[in-house]
Copies of this chain bind each other. A is one copy, B any other.
C-alpha cells in the first residue's frame, strides 16, 4: 500500500473523518478524550487513530503516559492539488464563495 492509498483509505471512514473534525476544532487531544466523544469502544477509536497516523493525517507527541494527537493538513492539500490546477482553483473558489453568500442571505 503506497502513501496515497493510505490517505484515501483513511478518509473513507466516517468515524475517522469525525476524528479529524474534532482535531480541526481543537488540536492536541488524547485517545481517552477523543473516545469520550464517540459511541465506540476504546479499541475501535484506537484502531482508527492508528490508520490516520499511518496516513500522516494525524501526527502525535508523547507526554508521559499520554499521547497527544494533532491534525496535519499537508496530505489534504496534496489531494486538492492532484485534480485542481491553479486556473481551475480560481473558478471553483469563486463559485463556492458565491454559493456561501447566497445561503447566508437565505437564513
Contact = CB atoms under 8 A, between A and B. Distances in A.
A11 interface: yes
In the complex, the count of this chain's copies comes to 2
Contacts of A82: 21, 24
A96 B71 contact: no
Given A76-B80, A77-B93, A79-B80, A14 B24 contact: no
A74 to B, nearest CB: 6
A83 B76 contact: yes
Contacts of A46: none
A24 B83 contact: yes
Contacts of A21: 82-83
A47 interface: no
